[in-house]
């Protein structure tokens, strides 16, 4: 073997030796970091879950479901129409109450011999509209007219005023006599036509009728609310997680129709008592979620509960003890609860509450 070949072999051995040394150094540093440095920098826990306010959509009205627009795992926006309940019974009840109100208003007018204040106010408004309507000015006198004196008298100011007064009286009378021709406000039924000849006031008083009208007005507002409740809308953005009804079902007030998981969720994590002093609000955290193996969800510590002890519920976190009789006692490990808020928008990800996750909280910087 030549001298050059010997040099080549020796260089290869040295290079291999250096590489092994470098690899050994990397392994030692990594071990030191994993076993000594990382535990000081991070608090890790596998006892963590996604949490959020699951919204139960309940019915405020009873009746048959005539339309259902929801499906499981469907995304909805705030204000979307989810379910429609048949409102016919409530609408019929509203018409009956409105009829009773109008009958008792007529009774009140008969007992007092005067129109109701609301009718007078309406009549005055209509009269004001007519009064504001421009009146065409009389034609000017044409030269050669033989009847100028009589013609001019017809348009004197006093006569015009009297005509307007007479017109107001006519309008006032129409407003009082023809109430049934007017419509109620929006979302109300038309006022029924009342046959005044069949109204009996022999057993009524002004006080009793007035009290009954107030009671009926209250009932009317309650029924109107029930009619509005027959259309169920999404209270906020979210995903339909469960459906309790289907089209054609009959529901009662307070029945759960469906549930919505909101987009805004957070993480509830549990840590050991010895780890608690290291954790402070505002510290950075990373959350690992099953199904997103290579994704780290960024979060921060938003609250630390240092007063209430909780208990781990995972079997691997239980401590096995033996009592005086030799029987095994399973005791949960005491822990404290912290809350992590996500710091980025993850609304496009599926993060349902009660999903088990793991969290790593950075409690100390290596550079400090």
Q: Domain spans of the chain?
A: 43-52+264-362, 55-84+231-261, 88-228
Burial of 338 (0-12, 13-18, 19+ CB in 10 A): buried
What CATH class does 43-52+264-362 carry?
Answer: mainly beta
Whole-number CA gyration radius for the chain = 42
Render pLDDT for 207-239 as a digit per residue (tens, 0 to 9).
999 999 999 999 999 999 999 999 999 998 888
Contact 90, 247 (CB under 8 A): no
Asked if pLDDT for residue 31 goes beyond 90, the answer is: no
**CA 167 vs CA 26, 104, 124, 192, 315: distances in Å:** 105, 29, 12, 27, 90
Kindly report the pTM of this predicted structure: 0.54
Angle formed by the axes of helices 117-132 and 157-177, nearest 10°? 140
Q: What's the pLDDT at 149? A: 43
247 in Cβ contact with 30 (< 8 Å): no
Q: Which residue has the higher pLDDT, 327 or 170?
A: 327
pLDDT computed for residue 273 by the predictor: 84
Confidence of residue 170 (pLDDT cuts 50, 70, 90): very low
269 and 340 Cβ atoms separated by less than 8 Å: yes
Nearest C-alpha neighbor of 288 from the set 280, 278, 298, 279: 298
Q: Kindly give, in sequence order, each residue whose CB lies less than 8 Å from that of residue 81, ignoring residues fewer than 6 positions away.
A: 69, 231, 232, 233
Question: What's the whole-number mean pLDDT along residues 294-305?
Answer: 91
Percentage of residues of the chain with pLDDT beyond 70: 60
291 contacts: CB under 8 Å, gap ≥ 6: 350
362 strand-pairing partners: 42
pLDDT of 150 > 80? The answer is no
Strand ranges across the sheet with 231-233: 231-233, 81-85, 63-68, 250-251
Looking at CATH, the fold of the domain delimited by 55-84+231-261 is given as OB fold (Dihydrolipoamide Acetyltransferase, E2P) (2.40.50)
Summarize pLDDT for 38-80 with one digit per residue, the tens. 556 788 888 899 988 888 999 999 999 999 999 988 889 889 9
226: CB partners within 8 A, 6+ apart: 60, 61, 90
């Amino acid at each position: 073997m030549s001298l050059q070949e010997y040099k080549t072999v020796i260089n290869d051995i040295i290079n291999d030796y250096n590489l092994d040394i470098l690899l050994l150094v990397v392994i030692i540093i990594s071990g030191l970091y994993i076993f000594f440095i990382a535990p000081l920098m991070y608090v890790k826990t596998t006892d963590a879950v996604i949490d959020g306010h699951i919204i139960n959509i309940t019915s405020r009205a009873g009746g048959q479901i005539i339309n259902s627009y929801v499906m499981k795992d469907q995304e909805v926006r705030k204000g979307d129409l989810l379910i429609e309940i048949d409102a016919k019974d409530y609408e019929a009840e509203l018409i009956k109450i409105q009829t009773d109100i109008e009958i008792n208003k007529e009774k009140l007018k008969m007992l007092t011999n005067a129109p109701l204040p609301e009718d007078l106010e309406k009549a005055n408004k209509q009269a004001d509209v007519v009064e504001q309507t421009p009146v065409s000015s009389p034609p000017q006198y044409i030269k050669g007219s033989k009847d100028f004196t009589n013609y001019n008298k017809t348009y004197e100011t006093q006569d015009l005023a009297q005509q307007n007064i007479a017109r107001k009286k006519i309008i006032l009378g129409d407003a009082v006599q023809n109430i049934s021709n007017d419509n109620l406000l929006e979302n109300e039924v038309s006022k029924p036509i009342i046959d005044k000849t069949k109204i009996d006031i022999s057993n009524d008083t002004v006080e009793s009728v007035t009290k009954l009208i107030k009671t009926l007005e209250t009932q009317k507002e309650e029924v109107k609310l029930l009619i509005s409740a027959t259309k169920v809308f999404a209270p906020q953005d979210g995903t339909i997680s469960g459906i309790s009804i289907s089209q054609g079902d009959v529901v009662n007030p307070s029945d759960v129709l469906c549930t919505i998981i909101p987009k805004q969720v957070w993480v509830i994590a549990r840590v050991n008592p010895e780890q608690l002093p290291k954790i402070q609000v505002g510290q950075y955290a990373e959350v690992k979620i099953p199904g997103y193996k290579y994704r780290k969800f960024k979060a921060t510590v938003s609250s630390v509960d240092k007063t209430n002890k909780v208990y781990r519920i995972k079997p691997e976190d239980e401590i096995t003890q033996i009592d005086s009789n030799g029987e095994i006692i399973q005791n949960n490990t005491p822990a404290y609860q912290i809350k992590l808020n996500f710091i980025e928008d993850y609304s496009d990800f599926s993060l349902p509450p009660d999903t088990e996750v793991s969290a790593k909280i950075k409690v100390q910087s290596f550079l400090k």
